[in-house]
Amino acid sequence: MDVFTALAAPARREIIDMLAHKGPLSASEISQKFDSSPPAISQHLKILREAKLVTMEKLGQQRIYQIDPAGMGEFEQWSQRMTQLWNKRFDALEKLLQTEKER
């Protein structure tokens, strides 16, 4: 599963947001924040793990989830490349508009 497919679902983006703000959380702590059933949230967590956006560690009976910095880093690098590309395009447009304005 790729990062973009994994992040396509609002619930999965919300899980990432929760983990980013609160740090490691158990599956039950995550599940409590949703109206969805625990098995549905478990499926979302599985998809996030497969996309390497989160890691899971077993502590006794609990499964603790946290953001995987390596997976998020890959997404961040892509985002930065897209930002640079669009900034170049906007700079070129601004230059063109300035030239037209000066005419």
Average pLDDT rounded to a whole number, residues 3-28: 95
Number of folded domains that form the chain:
1
Q: How confident is the model at residue 78 (pLDDT cuts 50, 70, 90)?
A: confident
pLDDT for res 73: 80
Distance CA 87, CA 81 (A): 10
Domain that holds residue 23: 3-102
**In the prediction, which pLDDT does 26 show?**
96
In this predicted model, which residue has the larger pLDDT, 33 or 103?
Answer: 33
Backbone angles phi, psi at 54, to 5 degrees: -135, 160
Q: What are 24-77's pLDDT values in tens digits?
A: 999 999 999 999 999 999 999 999 999 999 999 999 999 999 999 888 888 888
Q: Residue 41 is part of a domain; what is its CATH number?
A: 1.10.10.10
Token digits of residue 24:
């490691």
